[in-house]
Amino acid sequence: MNITVIGSGVIGLTSAHELAKAGHRVTVIHDQPLLESVSSVAAAIWFPYHSENSEAADRLLRHSLARFEELSSIPETGIDLRYGLNIDHLPDSDRSWTKIVKDTSEAPKEDLPDGANSGVYATLPIITMTTYLGWLREQVAALGVAFVQETVTDLSQLKNEADLVVLAAGLRGGELLGDDDSVYPIRGQVVRLANTKGLTDWLCDDDYPEGVTYIIPRRDDIIVGGTDTANDWNREVEPETAVAILARAAKLVPGLENLEVLEHKVGLRPARQKIRLERVQGQAVPVIAAYGHGGAGVTLSWGTAQRVVELAVENAGS
C-alpha cells in the first residue's frame, strides 16, 4: 500500500520504519524539523510515565523494551542500559511496570530520601534522543521512506495520494480527525547539564513533595526535570521553574551542584486517558490513529509501531 504517516516524532518515525520493513511504500509528512518535535525533549528513559495501565499497554511496553535492549548493542543508536532507582512516596504507587523488567530489586530504606515509602532498583534503557532520532531517521530513509515538510490541515488532502494514513500527530491527532477533543498537553520543562563528573545512575521520584524530579545521566549530559502540568500550553522556558528543578534535584543527588547548564527545554506531552491506537472509520481516507501516549511515547514506540503494522494488514483485508 501507499501509506502516509503524519508526524515525525518517535511514534511516526518508528511506525514508518516498521511499515516500510513490511513492504509498504511510505511517506512521512511533518510540519516541523525533526529535532524540534516533543520527542527530542524527552529524557528519555524507558518508563510508562503518564500513560495508561492496561493489558494492551503492557504488550506495547514488552515489545518496546525488548527492542531497546536489542538496539543498545549498537553504539550509534545512543541507547545505553543504565542502573537506577525509582522512588515511591505513596504506599499504593503503581508498580505494574516491574513485572515487565528483568532483575528489579527492592531498595533498602537507607537508600531512600526522607519521606519516601519505598523504592525499586532496575536496569532500564536510557535513550539520548538527539542521537537516537538522527539514527532512526537514517534507518527509515534507507528503507526508501520519503519525507515531506508541510502542514496537513484536513485529511481529505491525502485521499488521492494514500491508501492509508497513520495519524501520529501528537496533540493534533484529535484535531485532524475532528471527533476527539480528549487530547491535552502535559507541560514538561527540563534542564540539560554537562555530565563532567561521569554520573551513570538514574533516579526518578514522580511524587517528590516539592515536585516531580528525575535525573537521567546520558553519555555526555544529564537531563534534569521536571514539570508535569496538565493543560498548560506554555512552550516558553520559565527561569524560576528551572531554578526550582535544579534545587530539588541537587537535594537528591548532591553531585549535580555546580555542573554547567547546557540548555533549557520545554515539551508538551500529548496525553489522553487512553492511548488511541485503532482503525478510524468515516474519514476521506482510511486512517489508523496512533496518538495519546502521554509521557511514554518513546517507551511505547516499538510496540505501537508493531500494532500499526497489524492494523494496516487488517485494513488491507477489509
Beta bridge partners of 276: 291
Report the pLDDT value the prediction gives residue 12, as an integer from 0 to 100: 96
Look-up: residue for cell 476527539?
180
Report the pLDDT value the prediction gives residue 244, as an integer from 0 to 100: 96
pLDDT digits (tens, 9 = 90+) for 53-108: 778 889 999 999 999 999 999 999 999 999 999 999 988 888 889 999 998 999 99
- In the chain, the number of structural domains is 1
Band (pLDDT 50/70/90 cuts) for residue 109 is very high
By the 8 A CB rule, do 301 and 10 touch?
yes
Residue 49 has pLDDT above 80, yes or no: no
Report the pLDDT value the prediction gives residue 54, as an integer from 0 to 100: 79
Report the pLDDT value the prediction gives residue 316, as an integer from 0 to 100: 76
By the 8 A CB rule, do 224 and 256 touch?
yes
Round the average pLDDT of the chain to a whole number and report it. 92
What are the distances in angstroms from CA 287 to CA 47, 67, 165, 183, 271? Answer: 28, 26, 5, 17, 20
146-149 and 276-280 strand pairing? unpaired
Half-sphere exposure of 41 (CA within 13 A, CB side): 23
Band (pLDDT 50/70/90 cuts) for residue 38 is confident
Look-up: residue for cell 481529505?
156
Average pLDDT on 153-175 reads 93
Band (pLDDT 50/70/90 cuts) for residue 318 is low
Band (pLDDT 50/70/90 cuts) for residue 48 is confident
Report the pLDDT value the prediction gives residue 53, as an integer from 0 to 100: 74
Band (pLDDT 50/70/90 cuts) for residue 167 is very high
**Closest to 55 measured CA to CA, from 11, 14, 99:** 99
Report the pLDDT value the prediction gives residue 15, as an integer from 0 to 100: 98
Helix, strand, coil shares of the chain, percent, nearest 5, are 35, 30, 35
105-106 and 213-217 strand pairing? unpaired
Counting residues of the chain whose pLDDT is more than 70, the rounded percentage is 98
Residue 243 has pLDDT above 80, yes or no: yes
CA distance 110 to 79: 30
2-6 and 25-30 strand pairing? parallel
Q: Which CATH number characterizes residue 143's domain?
A: 3.30.9.10
Counting residues of the chain whose pLDDT is more than 90, the rounded percentage is 79
Half-sphere exposure of 110 (CA within 13 A, CB side): 0
Beta bridge partners of 53: none
Report the pLDDT value the prediction gives residue 91, as an integer from 0 to 100: 85
Average pLDDT on 116-131 reads 95
CA distance 170 to 295: 11
CA distance 81 to 79: 7
What range does the domain containing 145 cover?
2-317
Can you read off the three cell numbers belonging to residue 158? 491525502
Average pLDDT on 7-35 reads 93
Average pLDDT on 266-275 reads 92
221-225 and 184-194 strand pairing? antiparallel
pLDDT digits (tens, 9 = 90+) for 179-196: 899 999 999 999 999 999
Residue 134 has pLDDT above 90, yes or no: yes
Amino acid at position 316, single letter: A
Residue 118 has pLDDT above 90, yes or no: yes
State the first-to-last Cα distance of the chain, in angstroms, to the nearest integer: 13
Residue 301 has pLDDT above 80, yes or no: yes
Report the pLDDT value the prediction gives residue 260, as an integer from 0 to 100: 96
Band (pLDDT 50/70/90 cuts) for residue 315 is confident
Residue 35 has pLDDT above 80, yes or no: no
Residue 41 has pLDDT above 90, yes or no: no
Residue 32 has pLDDT above 90, yes or no: no
pLDDT digits (tens, 9 = 90+) for 203-217: 999 888 888 999 999
